[in-house]
Amino acid sequence: MNKVTAVSRRKDQTMITLIRIMAIYIALCLISPVLAADNTESGQGNVLKVIRKQHDVSVKTVPHQDYVGSEEPPSVTEKRPQAVKKPKHKPVREAAKRPPEKMSEDKKAAAAETFQDADLPEEVRSSQGEKEIERLQTVEDKNSSGPSEPQVSLLKKRFLEAAKDSAVYFETGEDILDIEPSNVEIRSALAWSCFDEKNYECALRHFEILSRDNRGNRDYLKGMAWTYFRQEKYDQALNLFKELYTADKSPEAASNLKLAFENLNADDQAKILSDLQEEQEPVLLKMAADRHYENNAPMTASYIYDGEETCYRNCSSPVLDFSGYYRNKSGDSGLSKLNEFSFPLKLHYPVRAGKEWVVSITPIYLNSGDAPSAVYAGHYFRYIHDSSAKQRDLTDSATVYEPEIRYRTEGPVEKEFMLGTTPLNGIAGPMPRFMAKIAKKDHWFIQLSQDSVRESILSYTGLRDPYGNKKWGRVLKTGAGAGMTFALFSPYWVSFDAGYDYYWGENITGNYSVSGTLSAGRTDRILKGEANAGMFLTSRHYDKNTAFFTFGHGGYYSPDIFLIAGPFVRYKTEACKDFWFDGEVSAGYLYFRTEDAPHYPKADDSAALLNSAAQTDLSGEYEGEKKSTVGLSLKLKAVKLIHDNIGVGAYLHGNNSADFNEFSAGLVVQYYFEPMKKISHTWDMLQGM
């Protein structure tokens, strides 16, 4: 081959090679944007899918729900939000064209709101948002050489720019954690945001991981504790609050612990109280005790914690009281008139936290004044028929004894049971008395009872017929009552109670009564005490008029219609002092009407054997009456500690709210087996007066 031909071939080959290179170059230029886009969209998505599959993390998103914070936790019956479809990411390549920039102050503030709307006490959400935003800003400014840095950088930017209640916010945060599961800043931000949006399962999942990987971090423990609290898992919340309190002993930690404790049921509280007592941690014990005292349980509070600075110190110790009581009721001498002197001796004996036995014996001296020689009582018509029928004088005085035992449990709902007898040593034989009551203080009560009617010697102890051998009287009323108090817009309230009683006894005619009281008023704080003022209306109806003293009647006031209405004022000093006072005065229009009644509703004598005068008396009737006047009532009670072991109480009561006037006064001296500095349970001292 000649030289010219060889050179020509080399030129041809060189040209072909150049053409091929140019063709490949052009092809590469044409397809490179498509490859870049595919790498951005499908490539990144495939990487995230693989990572997510490896970690098996499910993304949950929460729609935004605004709510107003309150002391009461929101209900856990709220519907759990459903997952939102994941939005498609923008190409990394396109985003990478924009130079990185620091977060603006507006964006920082918007992101910080993620942590400021949580319905938490101030110490929980004090600076969580600012902390996490600062951490995220620092991370955003760093450069990393990891293979996924472009994707993570974009996701973090999108996370910071997204609204905290949006699907993008939660989805993006979960995507970042798929790639960087150890990213504390992102996980913490998501945890608090889930809590804020009431997605408590999401919040708990992240808080558990954070607490596991950052042992000792109180913020994450708080997050777990409040999440359990919102889920109404109060026992688990209390354990974490207890751990937080043990770590710093702060008042805030103690307050959170108390809040969780208050939401436990009674059985769980009892167990926790037992555990707290075993630990002998004074602050924890006082926390539990204060809670019981606030719920009307001073004995329980004292049983748990008996510090000198408390209002309930030594309330769980026994108390012995002796009292003298005088009562005067106007009426006819020897019959409806009554003077009563009582000297109760009581022992209050707590047997365990919140439970107490009260045992008492009460000597009572009764006197109705001198009865006329030929008193109109019993079978008096026999005396009209034959004056020699009189066999004895009517009993106008008696000394009797009344035993009683009570069992009481205190607390928000108080229960009380009483068992006793009508007066022993009376004319008629004794009968049982009882009472069962359940009540929530200042809210409602329900009561069943059987008790003596204490209006005359006849109704109280019974009498023996001066013109025969039969006994009659010793009246019991057996019935039920209930009442409710409703709080209106502050400070107003309205209260209503009603009752039914059946009256029965030995050789007396049966009777019943229905009654009701409606009152309304307002409560104000005045002079370190509580004042109530308002209006009341009380009415009562008896089926029969049996207020007389001839055989078959009961000797107690029993009008057909009784009505009184008017204003009232009551004031009582606050508890936890060495002096306590409770006073009430009322006045109102009083109207009553009594029915006609037979002289002898139970007599079985034959009228044919009596003379005409006796027959007239036997078949005669008492005439009813009507009356309207101004009714007045006054009640005063006071208690004073005069020594660490001695308290003195006094009682005064007067009214004319019937067809008779009544006055009573009492004095009580209590001996405390353990020293007392403050008065915290006055209802026992003046009970029954």
Query: From the CB of residue 378, how many other CB atoms can be counted at a distance below 10 Å?
Result: 28
Total residue count of the chain as it appears in this document: 689
Contact 172, 88 (CB under 8 A): no
Measured CA to CA, the distance from residue 88 to residue 40 in angstroms comes to: 11
pLDDT, tens digit, 9 for 90 and up, residues 416-455: 999 999 999 999 999 999 999 999 988 999 999 999 999 9
Token pair 């009532």 in the structure block, residue: 633
In what helix (H) or strand (E) does residue 407 lie, and over which residues does it extend?
strand 397-409
Amino acid 75: pLDDT: 36
Query: CB neighbours of 432 closer than 8 A, spacing ≥ 6?
Result: 419, 420, 421, 422, 450
pLDDT at residue 33 tops 50: no
Among the ranges given (158-167, 400-409, 428-437), the one the predictor scored with the smallest mean pLDDT: 158-167
Query: In 559-685, at which residue ranges do the beta strands (DSSP E only) sit?
Result: 561-573, 579-593, 597-598, 621-622, 626-643, 646-655, 662-672
Query: From the CB of residue 9, how many other CB atoms can be counted at a distance below 10 Å?
Result: 11
If one compares 73 and 229, the residue with the highest pLDDT of the two is 229
The amino acid that residue 221 corresponds to is L
Measured CA to CA, the distance from residue 637 to residue 571 in angstroms comes to: 11
Which one-letter DSSP state was computed for residue 282? H
Cα–chain-centroid distance for residue 114?
35
Measured CA to CA, the distance from residue 452 to residue 476 in angstroms comes to: 5
Amino acid 28: pLDDT: 54
Q: How confident is the model at residue 112 (pLDDT cuts 50, 70, 90)?
A: very low
Residue 452's nearest CA partner among 470, 478, 426 is 478
Contact 567, 535 (CB under 8 A): yes
pLDDT at residue 111 tops 70: no
pLDDT, tens digit, 9 for 90 and up, residues 172-203: 888 888 888 888 888 888 889 899 888 999 99
Which one-letter DSSP state was computed for residue 657? -
Percent share of the chain, pLDDT over 90: 51
pLDDT, tens digit, 9 for 90 and up, residues 592-621: 999 999 999 998 899 999 999 999 999 999
Query: CB neighbours of 381 closer than 8 A, spacing ≥ 6?
Result: 599, 600, 603, 605, 610, 614, 615, 617, 618
Among the ranges given (90-99, 211-220, 235-244, 337-346), the one the predictor scored with the smallest mean pLDDT: 90-99
42-75: b or e for each residue (b if 16 or more CB lie within 10 Å)? eebeeebeebbeeeeeebbbbeeeeeeeeeebee
Measured CA to CA, the distance from residue 627 to residue 420 in angstroms comes to: 37
Residue 320's nearest CA partner among 577, 674, 638, 642 is 674
Contact 383, 370 (CB under 8 A): no
pLDDT, tens digit, 9 for 90 and up, residues 323-379: 999 999 999 999 999 999 999 999 999 998 889 999 999 999 999 999 999 999 999
Amino acid 66: pLDDT: 33
652-686: b or e for each residue (b if 16 or more CB lie within 10 Å)? ebebbbbbbebebbbebebebeeebbbbbbbebbb
Instruction: Show the DSSP H helices in 164-297 as ranges.
Output: 167-179, 184-196, 200-213, 218-230, 234-248, 251-262, 266-279, 282-294
Q: How confident is the model at residue 76 (pLDDT cuts 50, 70, 90)?
A: very low
Measured CA to CA, the distance from residue 604 to residue 496 in angstroms comes to: 43
Which one-letter DSSP state was computed for residue 165? T
- Note the maximum CA span of the chain: 183
Q: How confident is the model at residue 52 (pLDDT cuts 50, 70, 90)?
A: very low
In what helix (H) or strand (E) does residue 158 lie, and over which residues does it extend?
helix 149-161
| pLDDT (mean) for 71-95 | 34
507: left (phi over 0), alpha (psi -120 to 50) or beta: left
The amino acid that residue 683 corresponds to is W
Contact 440, 487 (CB under 8 A): no
Among the ranges given (43-52, 261-270, 342-351), the one the predictor scored with the smallest mean pLDDT: 43-52
- Please tell me which of 84-93, 124-133, 347-356 the model is most confident about, judged by mean pLDDT: 347-356
User: Which is it for the CA torsion 34, 40, 43, 45, positive or negative?
Assistant: negative
HEC secondary structure over 75-134:
CCCCCCCCCCCCCCCCCHHHHHCCCCCCCCHHHHHHHHHHHCCCCCCCCCCCCHHHHHHH
Contacts by residues 44-50 (CB-CB < 8 Å, ≥ 24 positions apart): 44/89, 44/92, 44/151, 45/89, 47/148, 47/151, 48/151, 48/175, 48/178, 48/179
Helix axes 266-279, 282-294, angle to 10 degrees: 150
Cβ neighbourhood burial of 457 (10 Å; 0-12, 13-18, 19+): buried
Measured CA to CA, the distance from residue 398 to residue 432 in angstroms comes to: 20
501-535: b or e for each residue (b if 16 or more CB lie within 10 Å)? bebbbbbbbebbbebebebebebeeeeeeebbebe
If one compares 254 and 298, the residue with the highest pLDDT of the two is 298
Measured CA to CA, the distance from residue 575 to residue 293 in angstroms comes to: 11
pLDDT at residue 81 tops 50: no
Amino acid 341: pLDDT: 97
pLDDT, tens digit, 9 for 90 and up, residues 444-486: 999 999 999 999 999 999 999 999 999 999 999 999 999 999 9
Contacts by residues 487-493 (CB-CB < 8 Å, ≥ 24 positions apart): 491/522, 491/523, 491/524, 492/520, 492/521, 492/522, 493/520, 493/521, 493/522, 493/523
What phi and psi values does residue 165 have, to the nearest 5 degrees? -105, 15
Contact 179, 48 (CB under 8 A): yes
Measured CA to CA, the distance from residue 380 to residue 149 in angstroms comes to: 115
Measured CA to CA, the distance from residue 523 to residue 355 in angstroms comes to: 31
Specify the 3-state DSSP secondary structure of 441.
Answer: coil
Which one-letter DSSP state was computed for residue 647? E
| pLDDT (mean) for 664-679 | 92
User: Which is it for the CA torsion 158, 159, 163, 167, positive or negative?
Assistant: positive
If one compares 216 and 661, the residue with the highest pLDDT of the two is 661
Measured CA to CA, the distance from residue 687 to residue 346 in angstroms comes to: 11
Cβ neighbourhood burial of 288 (10 Å; 0-12, 13-18, 19+): buried
pLDDT, averaged across the chain: 80
Global pTM? 0.67
